[in-house]
Structure 1
Amino acid sequence: MDILQTLKADYQRFPNNPTYEIYDPNVYFKDPLTEFRGLTRYQSMIQFMKTWFKDVCLTLHDIHRTGQKVKTEWTLSWTTPLPWTPRIVIPGRSELLLNDEERIVSHIDYWHCSRFNVIKQHFFTSKTR
């Protein structure tokens, strides 16, 4: 299994049908809002996004591998189910660390915007930000 091709396909259909087999059972995940260990927690987070948000889209801009490290650049967007249906956009990047079995043991997301900016997007349109 080519990890880069698998990740590209996962990004295209996100959050539907992720290839969880590429993750170590004790995977470490961190982003600006949360930090945890374990594939079960990771699956719960993806399921939460799939269930709660509408029109979730993860656009992959770049992906490359150097040794056991995979780096991606992306934009995550969704519509929050509030009466005024704000569209949230988070540009960011991920650093994934692979073990010898080619499984992801660490997945760290970095946002190119602040947590406050993401909250603000729920209340102000892009024209008023």
Structure 2
Amino acid sequence: MTVSESPELSESEYQARVEKNLATLQKDLPTLFAEDISYDIYTPDIYFNDPVNTFKYKFNYRIIFWTLRFHAQLFFREIYFDVHNIRQAAKDVIKVDWTVRGTLRVPWQAKVFFNGNSTYKMNEEGLIYEHLDTWDRKPQEILKQFLPTKRQKS
């Protein structure tokens, strides 16, 4: 069955799917560096964009989350994804405000910290078809946090 052939959801069915999406994101996001997320709330052709990545399709979406977990465990002593606010901003939009913070596995124990927000757009079936992330600083500025400061070198 194609999307155009799929039956229309009633308002209550659609809102129930939105509530499921909100609950799933609330459960998944805080542990995304340690555990895999649920993929059943996304369309097969999910589009993702952040300051360093742009791609489409659920296979690639799964890879980005696997990569985040792999690098988090490899390069960080500790890393957290703090969810500050998750809300339905419009009928077809979910917004999430968050912070990434952690300590690198380097002798000077560099800290990483940046804030961001995610916008998830949903189709008429209540599935997420687009995930857009914005960060409060440029990727180069975040990477500078990894370098030792003069005080840390001595």
TM class, shorter-chain normalised?
Answer: 0.7 to 0.9
Q: Are the equivalent residues in 2 in contact too, given 1:50–1:56 (CA < 8 A)?
A: no
Amino acid at match of 1:25: P
- Are 1:64 and 2:83 an aligned pair? no
Determine the structure 2 residue equivalent to 1:90.
114
Change (3 A) 1:82 1:107: same
Q: 61, 64, 75: which is aligned to 1:45?
A: 64
Equivalences, count? 127
Bigger share in strand: 1
Rounded to whole Å, the distance in 2 between the matches of 1:4 and 1:96 is: 10
Amino acid at match of 1:71: K
Give SS of 2:124's match: coil
Deviations 1:16-71 (A, max 9, x none): 13011111111000000110001111111111111122333111111111200011
Q: Are the equivalent residues in 1 in contact too, given 2:36–2:66 (CA < 8 A)?
A: no
Give SS of 1:119's match: helix
Unpaired runs of at least 5, structure 1: none
Give SS of 1:29's match: strand
Q: Are the equivalent residues in 2 in contact too, given 1:93–1:109 (CA < 8 A)?
A: yes
Deviations 1:74-121 (A, max 9, x none): 002344444544221120001110112221100000001122211111
Tell me how large the CA RMSD over aligned residues is.
Answer: 1.9
Bigger share in helix: 2
Seq. identity, %: 26
Rounded to whole Å, the distance in 2 between the matches of 1:23 and 1:85 is: 37
- Are 1:101 and 2:119 an aligned pair? no
Rounded to whole Å, the distance in 1 between the matches of 2:126 and 2:104 is: 35
Determine the structure 2 residue equivalent to 1:6.
24
Give SS of 2:36's match: coil
Change (3 A) 1:38 1:56: farther
**Divergent runs of 4+, >2 A:** 77-87
